[in-house]
Structure 1
Amino acid sequence: MTPIPARVRFDEAAPLALDIARDIAAEGFDVLLVRDVLGRFSVVVDDREASVDEGRRERWTAALAGLGAYATSRPLAFGSRLFSTAELLRSARVVSEASESAGSRTGSVRLRNNTVVGEDWAKVSTPGPEPDGTRTHRTALYGFKGGVGRTTATAVLARHLADQDKIVLVVDLDLESPGIGPLLAGGGLPASGIVDHLVESAVGNADNLELVTRTSYTPRSGFGELWVAPARGQGVDGVPYAYAEKLNRVYADTPGASFADRLADAVRACEEAVKREGDSDRRPDVVLLDSRAGIHDVAAVAISRLCDLALLFGADNAQTWTGYGDLFAAWQSSGQAREIRDKLRMVASMVPDSVHHTMDDYLDAFRSRSYDCFRATLYDEVVADEAGADPDPVSGRVSASGTDTPFSPAEEDDAAPHHPIPILFDPGLVGMDALNSPRWQDRAFVQAAYRDFLATATPLILSAPDGGGSDSGSEEGTA
């Protein structure tokens, strides 16, 4: 067992508690390790088939007490004394851990991690077809840090997809800092926004909200459509629009519906509104989710549950790779590495191209650090193993001779999730007044900056029914 320090801090508590749980399991008992919302641990021992003597109880209790402030007031419980023990141990929120040993039976160790926010980072799913068989491609655009040009890129991409004859809906999920709505729709916002659906649905009052508006953008072909669902609406004449008051209430869970469920319902309502109000009576072909930055529940839901492709924006700096490293590690430790990596693709934003800092040099450095970040967490570790070990149930990593085929692309693989899609930096993009610049996306410096991004992202979006991170393709032509 790892030596217990005199004062246990948060980061030290988890591996120490897991060691204690493993030691208990090694004595033949199934164990559930529970972490509460403050980070404190308790252990539930399944003693329904074999009793626990007093000596073991005292020894286990003493070991848990060594966690100090990170042990609950009653850190040891027994399944024979709990209500619905079987349901508790089979909880869908529990992540299994390997539990096999030679010789006598070794029990299993399972972890239930209770948090106030952030649980949806560990719940990965991909949207399926609608009941009528139609398919809407949802893409989340996310940056760990703000200021990487994500919103402008969303606007450029939306107009480009509309030019490809697609019905495009852009949903502003950057609730604390809304911007894509006015950028695309100008002053013609609908009466209500995403926050209105979230607060009204909480009290069963979300019917008939005006959530979307068709922008004035005219696609080149004349057949595409561009719609926007803003974070905030413009309200009703004569009635003050209390955006901050609404925002203070949107993240609450309600009876029978978590925040994640309610956000998913809000996006779906926006899609249905396009179908209801549009000329073609069709749901959007593409939905772009402009997600807020940082490790936040909105981003968690957008990436983990709502999209089939997530474009991850970043600059080549320490903040980017530390942030994404923390995020990827959370997915890896929760057992979701395999599911989430199929959705991901890195975007290198604001790429310089000058005599002193060439685009190629910058992208080579970006790709190398991106590869290191993915390889350390989301990619499978290829290890020669004559025995052919099974995949680890937590990390999903496998050996080279295991029964599963490991996913470990080469650094130079231009279809891999870590391989950056570039957006060039141009001084003209700084402070550009897109609202008052007609057809600003047609200007030469804008086309040059986004050419490679559009050519790579468009086929990824349109050919990713089951996750787009590891697909590849290129589009002929330019922006």
Structure 2
Amino acid sequence: MSTILFDESLTKFCELVVAAGADDFLKNGAFVRSPSGQLQLVVNYACWNEALAVDLRPVVAGALGKYSATVPDNIIRDVESPLVNERHLILPERVILGGQTIFVRLVDKRAAGQDWLRKPRVEDQDGPPRMVFWSLKGGVGRTTALVALAASIARGGGNVLVLDLDLEAPGVGDQLLKETERPKFGVVDYLLEDAVGNIDLDAIVGDVVGVSTLVEGAGLIHVCPAAGLVSVTRPENYLAKLFRAYRADGGVRPLSSRISMLIDSLVDRRRYDAVLIDARAGLNESTAAAVLGLNADVLLFGHKTLQTFSGYRYALAHLSRFVTEEDGEWRLRLKMVHAKAAANSSAQDEFRDQAFELFSEWLYDQTGDFSFSLDDDAAPHASWIILDDSNYRDFDPVDSPDLLTGRAFDATFGAFIDAARERLRIR
């Protein structure tokens, strides 16, 4: 018998259950996957069949090898109310049996990545609208676009809060703040002290925002950088703080909730017209917190490259688990951004076509409120365009603040800024 690998383990488990005539176990139970990948099946006692379970346990244990629960009796067990005490989200998991697709329920326990298992947060927003800037890779102009939008809002008289959640590659703080404007603390300090249970967080919240002077206007740009002055002066401590900052307090509060608490604290202290969040590139834990947990619009930046769409395919395939008939509004809060785009319309159309295929495969419905045509400009796949401009390839606003205004700025970012301001309801 060949060794069963991770991708085959759940399907093999289901095949054995069906072959044994225990289909009710799948319909009325849920799989639990341990942090190391071991599987067990928890079944409601109302449909429990002890004889079937006794016969199945050794078969499953032998077939799954390292991916079966270590105690045979726990491979398949019954409970009065399956997983009633589990704090982990039960998600639908797609399994293909005999060429047919079925869905089983799965609790995926993880040592990391828990925020990717939480439903997208969508609720009425009391405070200012939030917008997350996300990309699958760096170098696509995500942070530069955020800076451009923040500058436009401030020039127009609006106050904007910028939060750097790219903790492993901090950037937006350096782009918007001179060294003399950097606050004492950064996001990493807040999350660290919160994780270790320091109740005196007010001092940090009171000194975690710097005021950018790069833009002249009636409005203000407040920046909460990843690293504050204490990290700049003691850089040898940054990594030690970073990985402790990610640590949740026993899983009680997800990272997204802790970041939301920081944003709420800052918004309570000052009036803002928008909160712009620079997310970590890729599929990091902090990325999930920003994309799913902050009740924000999410901009998906990318180039017209294979890497853009193959990377987003992993992300959207996972997000498809949250698609339900009752809860679909979060899908409308996603928007593709074609960054550093060529000026010719055929290249822009090709990017839109690939985005449409991606969203159609994983997030769109075939009919109804969440079905869209290729040419529907309001659809998530219909890309906002930021043109490629060599002036902004190595852009440093601190050294070249003049590039935050003028004809080149309007030509490159004008259409994007107009669309983003409309989404944020900023005139």
* TM-score (normalizing by structure 1): 0.78
Kept in 1: contact 2:37–2:67 (CA 8 A): yes
2:184 is aligned with 1:191: yes
- Looking at structure 1, the residues matched to 229 and 394 of structure 2 have their Cα atoms a distance apart, in angstroms, of 24
Equivalenced residues, count? 406
Corresponding position of 2:97: none
Q: Indicate how the Cα distance of structure 1 residues 97 and 296 shifts in structure 2: closer, same or farther if over 3 A, else same.
A: closer
Q: Indicate how the Cα distance of structure 1 residues 138 and 21 shifts in structure 2: closer, same or farther if over 3 A, else same.
A: farther
Q: How does 1:99-178 map to 2 (within 5 A)?
A: 109-123=104-118, 124-130=120-126, 135-178=127-170
| Selected match of 1:39 from 28, 34, 37 | 37
Q: How far off is 1:61 after superposition?
A: 3.8
Q: How far off is 1:238 after superposition?
A: 8.0
Kept in 2: contact 1:157–1:454 (CA 8 A): yes
Kept in 1: contact 2:57–2:76 (CA 8 A): no
Structure 1 residues 241-261: Cα deviation after superposition (integer angstroms, max 9, x where no partner):
732221121111114433332
2:289 is aligned with 1:293: no
- Looking at structure 1, the residues matched to 408 and 25 of structure 2 have their Cα atoms a distance apart, in angstroms, of 68
Kept in 1: contact 2:115–2:255 (CA 8 A): no
Comparing 425-434 with 58-67, greater Cα deviation is found at 58-67
Q: How does 1:227-266 map to 2 (within 5 A)?
A: 227-235=222-230, 242-255=237-250, 256-266=252-262
Q: How far off is 1:219 after superposition?
A: 4.3
| Selected match of 1:415 from 354, 378, 382 | 378
- Looking at structure 2, the residues matched to 332 and 239 of structure 1 have their Cα atoms a distance apart, in angstroms, of 43
SS in 2 for 1:227: strand
SS in 2 for 1:182: helix
- Looking at structure 2, the residues matched to 97 and 12 of structure 1 have their Cα atoms a distance apart, in angstroms, of 13
2:193 is aligned with 1:200: yes
Q: How far off is 1:64 after superposition?
A: 4.9
Corresponding position of 1:63: 60
Kept in 2: contact 1:235–1:241 (CA 8 A): no
Q: How does 1:332-371 map to 2 (within 5 A)?
A: 332-335=320-323, 338-353=328-343, 358=344, 360-371=345-356
Kept in 2: contact 1:122–1:334 (CA 8 A): no
Q: How far off is 1:114 after superposition?
A: 1.1
Q: How far off is 1:147 after superposition?
A: 0.7
Q: How far off is 1:323 after superposition?
A: 0.7
Comparing 34-43 with 188-197, greater Cα deviation is found at 34-43
- Looking at structure 2, the residues matched to 51 and 408 of structure 1 have their Cα atoms a distance apart, in angstroms, of 40
Q: How does 1:217-236 map to 2 (within 5 A)?
A: 217-220=214-217, 222=218, 224-235=219-230
Structure 1 residues 99-133: Cα deviation after superposition (integer angstroms, max 9, x where no partner):
xxxxxxxxx95321112222322321125334xxx
Q: How does 1:300-315 map to 2 (within 5 A)?
A: 300-315=288-303
> What CA RMSD, in Å, does the superposition of the two structures yield over aligned residues?
2.7
Higher helix fraction: Structure 1 or Structure 2? 2
- Looking at structure 2, the residues matched to 121 and 339 of structure 1 have their Cα atoms a distance apart, in angstroms, of 18
- Looking at structure 2, the residues matched to 231 and 425 of structure 1 have their Cα atoms a distance apart, in angstroms, of 27
SS in 1 for 2:91: strand
Amino acid across the alignment from 1:411: L
Corresponding position of 1:381: 366
SS in 2 for 1:350: strand
Q: How far off is 1:196 after superposition?
A: 0.7
Bigger RCO of structures 1 and 2 (CA < 8 A, at least 6 apart): 2
* TM-score (normalizing by structure 2): 0.87
Q: How far off is 1:416 after superposition?
A: 0.5
Corresponding position of 2:69: 72
- Looking at structure 2, the residues matched to 11 and 87 of structure 1 have their Cα atoms a distance apart, in angstroms, of 24
Q: How far off is 1:333 after superposition?
A: 2.7
The answer for unaligned runs of 5 or more in structure 2 is 95-102
- Looking at structure 1, the residues matched to 234 and 419 of structure 2 have their Cα atoms a distance apart, in angstroms, of 45
Kept in 2: contact 1:345–1:418 (CA 8 A): yes
Identity fraction in percent: 28
2:427 is aligned with 1:429: no
Q: Indicate how the Cα distance of structure 1 residues 64 and 110 shifts in structure 2: closer, same or farther if over 3 A, else same.
A: farther
Kept in 1: contact 2:132–2:298 (CA 8 A): yes
2:426 is aligned with 1:438: no
Kept in 2: contact 1:20–1:64 (CA 8 A): no
- Looking at structure 2, the residues matched to 290 and 87 of structure 1 have their Cα atoms a distance apart, in angstroms, of 36
